[in-house]
Amino acid sequence: MQKIPTPAAGKPVRHAALAKPDQSIEEIRPGQSIELLKELHILTREGKLNQDTRRKLKQVYHLYQFIEPLLNEVSAGQTAFTLADHGAGKSYLGFILYDLFFNVAHRGEKAAGHIYGIETRAELVEKSRALAERLGFERMSFLNLSVQQATTSPDLPARIDIVTALHACDTATDDAIAFGLAKQARHMVLVPCCQAEVAAVLKKSKALNMARTPLAELWRHPLHTREFGSQITNVLRCLQLEANGYQVTVTELVGWEHSMKNELILASRPAQPSPAKTRAAQERLQQVLDQLGLAELSSRFACTGD
């Protein structure tokens, strides 16, 4: 067995982003940070990739395929982009975006931009800061803030180009949308998770709605209340985004065999939104709320009027 040489005493180890993976792991792209992949448990500590983590890596690349064109668009002409990732947790998404964009896709180029990870748990923020420093990911910042605090924080720029929220639970996706609207985001990439608020309102007014409209059969049974509530929540979010001038696409993030929380909402705001389409979406949004007995949530899904 060939002995692997170790660095000489006092000689620094090469930057993790320049490490060379096992050539048998075809999925890993040249230039990716091996240390990062280990920290995210995509690679084992021995640098191996098993079947489960191979699927996980494919999912990461799939999500990046949606976001990379947005990063390229907002950074065209050497303009520095800004991206805010809400509910960042361990900043899994932010780190992967950073590594694939700066260290792989634009390695050796002058691509400029900054990624902000926003998280309420201080211990996760500190861990992310330490990892970014260790990896040399200089264009990343981590803020211990709620979404509402982030909207007015001086630690964030007045405008944010891209807002992401991966598996943001319940109303956290709505908070991320509100942040994006306040920051005049050009793009939003949202993967909602569990959603209970709308279902609770449907349940509360079920008896009244059963007498008022046969559509209440859609959520008469408790299981249907939960599932329909989740579905209509995302429908309302899409209408809200369209009512604020965004063009919206809804698609699957990964195969349903991997996760049932699989809906990906992509929203992009053109330079000149169509007033007619915006007004039509505003009207449909209010009609849906009224028809389903959800008028008390009008402020949640309001149009900013910008």
Tens-digit pLDDT profile for residues 24-47: 466 788 889 999 989 888 888 888
pLDDT-based confidence at 305, cuts 50/70/90?
A: low
Q: Is residue 173 pLDDT above 80, yes or no? A: yes
What is the rounded distance in angstroms from the CA atom of residue 70 to the CA atom of residue 270?
13
Q: Nearest-CA neighbor of 142 among 123, 166, 163, 169?
A: 123
Q: Is the pLDDT of residue 8 over 50?
A: no
Token code pair at residue 187: 């793009």
Q: How high is the pLDDT of residue 302?
A: 80
* pLDDT tens per residue across span 224-281: 888 898 899 999 999 999 999 999 999 987 654 444 567 899 999 998 999 999 999 9
What is the β-pairing status of strands 263-268 and 247-252? antiparallel
- 154-180 mean pLDDT: 90
Res 133 pLDDT > 50: yes
Q: Between these two residues, 234 and 50, which has the higher pLDDT value?
A: 234
Say if residue 19's pLDDT is above 60. Answer: no
The pLDDT score that the predictor gives to residue 278 is: 95
Can you list the domains of the chain with their CATH numbers? 57-297 (3.40.50.150)
Half-sphere exposure of 196 (CA within 13 A, CB side): 3
The per-residue pLDDT for 244 is: 96
Task: Please check the confidence at residue 88 and state whether its pLDDT lies above 60.
Answer: yes
Give the Cα separation of 128 and 88 in Å (integer).
10
| Residues above pLDDT 70, as percent of the chain | 88
- For residues 31 and 107, the answer to whether their CB atoms sit within 8 Å is yes
Q: How confident is the model at residue 306 (pLDDT cuts 50, 70, 90)?
A: low
Q: What is the mean pLDDT of residues 275-292?
A: 94
- What are the φ/ψ torsions at residue 144 (nearest 5 degrees)? -85, 80
What was the pLDDT predicted at 59?
A: 76
Mean pLDDT check: name the lowest of 69-73, 166-170, 232-236: 166-170
Q: Residue 265 forms beta bridges with which residues? A: 190, 250
Mean pLDDT score of the chain: 85
Q: What pTM, to 2 d.p., does this model score?
A: 0.85
* The residue type at 113: G
Residue 11 has what pLDDT? 39
Between 53 and 149, name the one with better pLDDT.
149
SS (H, E, C) the chain: CCCCCCCCCCCCCCCHHHCCCCCCCCCCCCCCCHHHHHHCCCCCCCCCCCHHHHHHHHHHHHHHHHHHHHHHHHCHHHCCEEEEEECCCCCHHHHHHHHHHHHHHCCCCCCCEEEEEEECCHHHHHHHHHHHHHHCCCCEEEEECCHHHHHHCCCCCCCCCEEEEEEECCCHHHHHHHHHHHCCCCEEEEEECCCCHHHHHHHHCHHHHHHHCHHHHHHCCHHHHHHHHHHHHHHHHHHHHHHCCCEEEEEECCCCCCCCCCEEEEEECCCCCCHHHHHHHHHHHHHHHHHCCCHHHCCCCCCCCC
